[in-house]
Chains A and B, each alone.
Chain A
């Protein structure tokens, strides 16, 4: 994809990512090279079903945790955080 087509900026764990219109937040997180979730026993997880069923792609969007990133399209300026950063920094994931 050309850089020009990547017109939507957002941040994933503080790093700015630019994506094409219509890109899901789940795809943006994978583009940023991050796991979406850390499981209850500490495993990194990524999207599984891609259709809002499995809840593996949950991330924190603008401070609100547990959002299914595969079902939400990126909009400009949103801030996405994943468990790896939230749990790693001692955050609780609470809004």
Chain B
């Protein structure tokens, strides 16, 4: 099997799975590459308590001819039809194990590229947010699905967005003691959202189902954490609602302020970005020929919209325009939800007052609020303070700084994620037994010809 595909899908969340499965079922030779060790992305991360839809798509993926590269992070895309990825956990041979075969860097070629890179949580800095056991809401959920025992642990969930209820319900179902869910949005804003969603009964039901699971747990609106307390790890969190403040002892705080789309790869490829999201037409075509985008990077709309977009992009990329058009009509009807959700999750301006002077904003480089707020631009702050210069490349502090200071991050450059220095030279051969690397490796040849 060649590492050369008709269609390459980047990201194995709902949009990516739907795209890969749909394209493969349409007869295309499809590759699916994803940073996580298993398919499902964040919302369908492996573990119990997944909806039936997830199992159905997973089964279709398993039955399909899709070539899957899980645990590979895409770090460069030198041209639209060439993706470079490096295997996670590539470390030297260990005498007791055979993990040497895990190492590798691959060049993946394709005729069409579908970007389904998903979203990450937005984190807002507040005093104590760097303490161990303060995580994102989705972050805590991912850790639990990755084997962190949560039964009997005291948990506070906070931030904004529908993810909070989903996480609280999941953790409660695993016998966590969810003390409280704090939603920053006001009750009136949420009510407007709920009314707007009457056209979306499935969504409302989903929310109600979560509420049933956690019905013993207070759900406080217009409320957020103002401090995480503890010496070497989290011991309690100070919450605020209106003029009221109180401490809640807890083992874990899961706090995330809705989602930020992962648009670094589309941005690197030169896809047009509008208002922070990848611009596409109804067929999910980006401004770069042959490059499609599906799911959260085109607008935060949740699982059902992502599934639709993945299918539309795959059908369009494989030439099934009529079927793509009919799904596009369904998609159009759901776009109102994207706008309503964005409005409902709009951040309360008071959240800008959360960080104190010595609160760390950039966790990679430990850059504090006091050394940032006098700079005029993101670039100025970055150069003078190292803010955003660490290995996360500003993915965490950049979104916070945009909210706190109104700065916009600069251009995206490779590597999109840290990658081995040697991977910048030429890919190593991926050691999957029955597969070999494409013969033509232009970059490698160039490197050899250059004296």
Residues of A within 8 A of B (CB): 1, 19-20, 22-24, 26-28, 30-31, 35-36, 39-41, 43-56, 58, 61-64, 66-68, 70-79, 95
Contact = CB atoms under 8 A, between A and B. Distances in A.
B142 A51 contact: yes
Given A39-B363, A61-B91, A71-B88, A54 B233 contact: no
Given A41-B366, A71-B37, A30 B143 contact: yes
Interface in B70-88: 71, 73, 88
B139 A39 contact: no
B73 A46 contact: no
Contacts, number: 152
A54 B396 contact: yes
A68 B232 contact: no
Contacts of A31: 147-149
A73 B148 contact: no
A70 B149 contact: no
A77 B390 contact: no
Contact of B130 (A45, A62, A63): A45
A51 B296 CA distance: 15
Contacts of B99: 62, 75, 78
B183 interface: no
Contacts of A67: 88-89, 91
B147 A20 contact: yes
B147 A28 contact: yes
A30 B391 contact: no
B302 interface: no
A29 B124 CA distance: 25
B133 interface: yes
Contacts of B366: 39-41, 43
Contacts of B141: 50
B232 A35 contact: yes
Contacts of A79: 94
22 contacts: A24-B147, A26-B148, A27-B148, A30-B148, A31-B147, A35-B132, A39-B130, A39-B366, A43-B360, A46-B134, A48-B123, A48-B135, A49-B120, A50-B138, A54-B392, A62-B99, A70-B142, A71-B36, A71-B73, A71-B89, A77-B94, A78-B97
